[in-house]
Amino acid sequence: MDDIELTNQLLSALTGHHLLAFRMGIGVRLEFDDDAYHELTIEGELRFPQPDGSQLRGDPIGLTVAEQLIRVLGTTVTAASVDRDGDLTIAFGDDSLIVPCSDMYESWQLKSDAELLIVSMPGGGLAIWQPDGQSYP
């Protein structure tokens, strides 16, 4: 299993859980109400696809992002995945957010209270740190 497949398997833990809270500071942090308490930190651009095919875009601490996150606050995650380029997509029913991979920065990272850490690396690819003594298929 490669890093993309492993990450998608781990991201599936968010499905069925709610966006519990978000905090803005250096980037934006999304917190989910799952058992492993996953937290997604986004320091890159966010995109929000619209029904007309356009996308709202914003920096992680901008008003556009805050408005869109308020729309999905408390909403159930229906899908979460990363593609071969390292772009992360999280769907909340009819709404979704996309965090594209950055050429120069770590655009997003996902961590859990079980010491799992997945980082989107600059230029593509993922770095995964697994808890001691635990491995994933």
pLDDT digits (tens, 9 = 90+) for 61-112: 899 999 999 999 999 999 999 999 999 999 999 999 999 999 999 999 999 8
In Å, what is the CA distance from 24 to each residue of 58, 64, 103, 134?
13, 12, 23, 32
In a domain, 109, yes or no: yes
For residue range 18-75, list pLDDT tens digits in order: 999 999 998 999 999 977 788 999 999 999 999 999 999 999 989 999 999 999 999 9
In a domain, 137, yes or no: no
In a domain, 133, yes or no: no
In a domain, 20, yes or no: yes
Number of domains in the chain: 1
Letter string b/e over residues 83-94, b meaning 16 or more CB atoms within 10 A of that residue's CB: eeebbbbbbbee
In a domain, 134, yes or no: no
In a domain, 135, yes or no: no
Domain range holding 101?
3-128
Whole-structure pTM value: 0.90
Q: What residues form DSSP beta bridges with 117?
A: 111, 129
In a domain, 76, yes or no: yes
